[in-house]
């Protein structure tokens, strides 16, 4: 019997439609993109040659260097967004001969496997994914669709303290696969599954990935292209925070409820009239991935550079296994070359080769914390097979998002560490076999994780000015705005055209606000710390969020102090550059808004939980954390910030 979860109330939510392609919009974007690059080069040329302040040379160079690095990101985004190339959609596969050359073998219906990877999630949550997988449609009754739970937590009844995943799988009538170790993390789990199954095409679902009925119907047709290695579908999180009316939030914070008090009733009515139509807190945790899947990854179809993101993907077994065999063959070749150079005889070579074959595993997915993108790079770099990929446009699955800041940070920190580890060990710029477009697209993904290096400079530059009173440019004069404003305006227009129809505000805020944990990720990888595959919690974590937002609070505090200090100097007519104060103050407003989103997320909770907490507080006479379940001891500071 299915267990009720918090997400049950969102079951009726429908996914967004894919952005329709429009060649005229693409042409306009390309024109604006070229103009953006030209204006950016002109602006940076002026900045480097004519705007540096000789009285603050180091400060000036740091800022213009940050602008230059940020501009490189803009150029790579424009290249990424250059054009759309959605492949022709074909009907679902029926026979094996439709997807590969049989080379004399008898034809048969294609075999499809669905893998549900699990580790320590609530077994009843996994049951939801199993049930939806069992409800998958397919027009050909002779096509065998098998479903397997890949349980990497060994919850088969051996440990009475653990839930029994095996029983759930048996109750639902699906396959159950486990292994006796966790080597290779999720990649190792998938390797074990491939060793015990025989599907020609297999889909990967996470424990919380619930496919819609036509998931396989809409995606297997791509494999009629014999070079198609995998198809990635958009990951849609259907449980993101709902927008709230600002009037309701204010009434809640001020504790104004329906009553016979005329003042309270009147205030509530005015509040609703003024702020009732203003919505806030929508997708407070920045979980909406539409920009990534419907724009960034989808437009990489143009370069054959869309990479696998794990859950919601479909794969050709032949492609994955060819990579494994190729890697194994390279190891044998390297061993033979090494032994020949050491002048060993054929008998010794045969003996050591046999030992290697017994010791080495054939590994289909790269054993790595970011096994999906790593394996994608290696498949795209396979010059012999020239494997292709596609980012499918339509949403075919629904998933659960992180429900608290600590879980969100840990999830994205794993992404950052995995990508940075690839950058330092197997940088796609240097890998042979990739096309120029693929190199740029993969490097663009990795480059984005270096963004905190220049974001931190942008955040601290106004603070440095406020307390040193030294400008990073000679002056905020007409000459500065003559170069800066045209570039900024056209750049904004270009991004709007590239992201047509998608709200980017929350993504922009988290891009800036994520600087701290990404810096920590960079330090961790540089120090050589092993990147771990941390499973994202499904539900709420009650860990302390202060370490994630303390740097944000410090920067905001210093910024506000700097504004107050400079305002006093302006009032006393003692400020050396009032125009610099005005320009930096506007800059700070943007910084504070961006940084505050993570602080809001750290201390936010649903309205129903706040009501429960008030009851608990009345009963226990203790202050509870605004980000924990009722009755859990917490921080009074958190409550005051939330209010």
Per-domain boundaries in the chain: 10-84+446-642, 96-239+287-402, 244-280
Q: Given this model, what pLDDT does residue 339 score?
A: 53
244 band by pLDDT with thresholds 50, 70 and 90: confident
- 117 sits in which H/E element: strand 111-118
Q: Is the pLDDT of residue 613 over 70?
A: no
Report the pLDDT averaged over residues 404-418.
88
Long-range Cβ contacts of 428-437 (<8 Å, 24+ apart): 428/377, 431/377, 431/381, 432/381, 432/383, 433/380, 433/381, 433/382, 433/383, 434/377, 434/380, 434/381, 435/303, 435/304, 435/305, 437/79, 437/302, 437/303, 437/304, 437/305
Burial 407-422 (b: 16+ CB within 10 A, else e): bbbbbbbbbbbbbbbb
603 band by pLDDT with thresholds 50, 70 and 90: confident
Q: Which of 198-202, 598-602, 617-621: highest mean pLDDT? A: 198-202
Query: Does the CA dihedral 608-612-618-620 come out positive or negative?
Result: negative
What is the Cα 333 distance to its own chain's centre?
Answer: 38
Q: Given this model, what pLDDT does residue 369 score?
A: 59
Q: Given this model, what pLDDT does residue 93 score?
A: 97
Q: Given this model, what pLDDT does residue 122 score?
A: 94
CA distance 318 to 290: 30
Q: Given this model, what pLDDT does residue 270 score?
A: 81
What does the pLDDT look like over 248-274, one tens digit per residue?
777 777 777 655 677 777 777 787 777
Q: Given this model, what pLDDT does residue 373 score?
A: 87
Q: Which of 439-448, 600-609, 628-637: highest mean pLDDT? A: 439-448
Report the pLDDT averaged over residues 10-20.
91
Put simply, whether the predicted model's pTM sits higher than 0.85 gets the answer no
Q: Is the pLDDT of residue 622 over 60?
A: no
What does the pLDDT look like over 550-581, one tens digit per residue?
999 999 999 999 999 999 999 999 999 999 99
Report the pLDDT averaged over residues 471-498.
92
Q: At what angle do helices 478-498 and 57-80 cross, to 10 degrees?
A: 30
Q: Given this model, what pLDDT does residue 469 score?
A: 94
Q: Given this model, what pLDDT does residue 533 score?
A: 53
Q: Is the pLDDT of residue 328 over 70?
A: no
Indicate the Cα dihedral angle 181, 185, 188, 192, nearest 10°. 60
Alpha-helix residue ranges (DSSP H) falling in 51-198: 57-80, 123-134, 165-172, 185-195
Do 114 and 133 meet the contact criterion of CB atoms below 8 Å apart? yes
Q: Is the pLDDT of residue 455 over 70?
A: yes
Q: Given this model, what pLDDT does residue 88 score?
A: 87
Which listed CATH number (3.40.190.10, 3.90.550.10, 3.30.365.10, 3.40.640.10) goes with 96-239+287-402? 3.90.550.10
342 band by pLDDT with thresholds 50, 70 and 90: low
Angular region, 255: left φ>0, alpha ψ -120 to 50, beta rest: left
Report the pLDDT averaged over residues 266-288.
79
């Amino acid at each position: 019997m299915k267990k009720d979860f918090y997400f049950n109330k969102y079951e009726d939510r429908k996914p967004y439609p894919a952005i329709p392609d429009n060649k005229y919009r693409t042409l306009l974007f390309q024109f604006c993109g070229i103009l953006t690059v030209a204006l950016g080069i002109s602006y940076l040329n002026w900045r480097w040659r004519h705007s540096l302040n000789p009285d603050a040379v180091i400060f000036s160079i740091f800022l213009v260097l940050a602008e230059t690095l940020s501009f490189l990101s803009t150029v790579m985004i424009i290249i990424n967004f250059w054009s759309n190339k959605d492949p022709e959609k074909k009907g679902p596969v029926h026979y094996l001969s439709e997807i590969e050359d049989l080379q004399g073998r008898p034809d048969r219906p294609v075999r499809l496997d669905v893998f549900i990877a699990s580790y320590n999630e609530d077994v009843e949550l996994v049951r939801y994914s199993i049930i939806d997988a069992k409800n998958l449609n397919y027009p050909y009754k002779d096509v065998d669709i098998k479903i397997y739970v890949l349980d990497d937590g060994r919850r088969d009844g051996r440990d009475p303290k653990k839930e029994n995943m095996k029983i759930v799988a048996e109750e639902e009538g699906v396959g159950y696969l486990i292994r006796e170790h966790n080597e290779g993390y999720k990649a190792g789990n998938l390797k074990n599954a491939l060793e015990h199954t025989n599907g020609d095409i297999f889909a990967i679902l996470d424990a919380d990935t619930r496919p819609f009925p036509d998931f396989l119907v809409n995606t297997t047709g791509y494999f009629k292209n014999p070079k198609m290695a995998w198809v990635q579908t958009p990951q849609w999180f259907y449980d993101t925070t709902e927008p709230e009316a600002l009037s309701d939030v204010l009434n809640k914070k001020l504790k104004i409820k329906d009553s016979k008090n005329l003042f309270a009733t009147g205030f509530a009515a005015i509040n609703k009239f003024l702020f009732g139509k203003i919505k806030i807190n929508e997708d407070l945790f920045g979980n909406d991935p539409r920009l990534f899947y419907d724009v960034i990854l989808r437009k990489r179809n143009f370069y054959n550079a869309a990479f696998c993101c794990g859950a919601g993907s479909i794969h050709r077994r032949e492609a994955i296994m060819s990579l494994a065999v190729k890697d194994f063959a390279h190891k044998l070749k390297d061993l033979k070359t090494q032994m020949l150079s050491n002048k060993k005889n054929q008998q010794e070579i045969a003996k050591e080769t046999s030992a290697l074959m017994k010791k080495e595993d054939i590994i289909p997915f790269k054993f790595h914390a970011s096994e999906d993108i790593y394996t994608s790079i290696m498949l795209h770099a396979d010059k012999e097979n020239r494997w292709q990929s596609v980012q499918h446009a339509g949403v075919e699955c629904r998933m659960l998002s992180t429900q608290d800041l600590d879980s969100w940070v840990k999830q994205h920190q794993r992404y950052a560490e995995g990508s940075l580890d690839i950058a330092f060990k197997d940088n796609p710029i240097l890998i042979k076999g990739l096309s120029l477009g693929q190199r740029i697209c993969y490097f663009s993904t990795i480059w984005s994780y270096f963004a905190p290096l220049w974001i931190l400079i942008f955040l601290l530059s106004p603070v440095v000015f406020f307390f040193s009173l030294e400008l990073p440019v000679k002056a905020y004069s007409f000459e500065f705005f003559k170069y800066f404003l045209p570039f900024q305006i056209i750049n904004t227009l270009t991004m709007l055209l590239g992201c047509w129809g998608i709200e980017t505000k929350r993504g922009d805020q988290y891009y800036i606000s994520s600087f701290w944990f990404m810096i920590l990720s960079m330090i961790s990888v540089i120090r050589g710390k092993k990147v771990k595959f941390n499973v994202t919690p499904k539900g709420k974590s009650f860990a302390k969020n202060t370490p994630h937002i303390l740097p944000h609070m410090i920067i905001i505090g210093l910024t506000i102090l700097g504004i107050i200090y400079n305002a006093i100097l302006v009032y006393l007519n003692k400020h050396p550059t009032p125009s610099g104060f005005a320009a930096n103050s506007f800059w700070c407003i943007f910084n504070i808004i961006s940084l505050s989103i993570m602080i809001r997320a750290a201390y936010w909770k649903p309205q129903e939980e706040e009501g429960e907490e008030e009851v608990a507080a009345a009963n226990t006479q203790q202050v509870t954390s605004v980000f924990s379940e009722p009755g859990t001891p917490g921080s009074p500071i958190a409550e005051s910030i939330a209010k």
